Amino acid sequence: MPLMRWMRRWTVWIAATAIGGFILWLAGTVVSIRTAEGEAAGTLFGRKITVQAYLQAQQAVLHQAILTYGDRHREHLTDEELNSQAWDWLTFLSEAKRKGIRISDEGVVKELRQLPLFQTDGRFDPAAYQQIIQYLGITPRTFEEEFRQSLMIKRMMEQVAEGITVSDEELRQGFHQREDTIQVSFLRIPNQEIAREIFESARQEPDRLEEAAKQLKTQVTRTDYFKRSGKIQGSDLEPSHFSPAFSLKPKEVTGPLPLPATSGKERQAGAPDETWLVIRLEDRRPADEENLVSMRETLEKELLAQKRFRVTIDWYQDLFKRANLKKLL
Q: Which helix (H) or strand (E) holds 154?
A: helix 140-160
User: Would you give the distance in Å from CA 308 to the centre of its chain?
Assistant: 12
Distance CA 180, CA 242 (A): 14
Q: What Cα–Cα distance (Å) separates residue 61 from each residue in 26, 143, 227, 305?
A: 11, 11, 43, 27
Query: What are 47's strand-pairing partners?
Result: 44
pLDDT, mean over the chain: 84
Q: Show pLDDT as tens, one digit a residue, over the chain (329 residues).
A: 444 444 444 444 434 322 222 222 333 333 344 344 568 999 999 999 999 999 999 999 999 888 888 888 888 888 899 999 999 999 999 999 999 999 999 999 999 999 988 999 989 999 999 998 988 889 999 999 999 999 999 999 999 988 899 999 999 999 998 899 999 999 999 989 999 999 999 999 999 999 999 999 999 999 999 998 888 988 889 998 999 999 999 999 998 999 865 544 434 444 456 789 999 999 999 999 999 999 999 999 999 999 999 999 999 999 999 999 999 87
Query: In this predicted structure, what is the pLDDT of residue 71?
Result: 81
Q: What is the pLDDT of residue 35?
A: 43
Q: Specify the pLDDT at position 277.
A: 94
Tens digit of each residue's pLDDT (9 = 90 or more) over 139-179: 999 999 999 999 999 999 999 988 899 999 999 999 998 89
Query: What is the residue type of 33?
Result: I
**What pLDDT score does 34 carry?**
39
Beta carbons of 189 and 216 less than 8 angstroms apart: yes
Give kind and range of the element (H or E) at residue 47. strand 47-50
Predicted local distance difference test score (pLDDT) of residue 329: 74
What pLDDT, in 10s, does the model give residues 270-284? 445 678 999 999 999
pLDDT at 18: 29
Distance between start and end Cα atoms, the chain? 19
Check: CB of residue 305 under 8 Å from CB of residue 290.
Answer: no
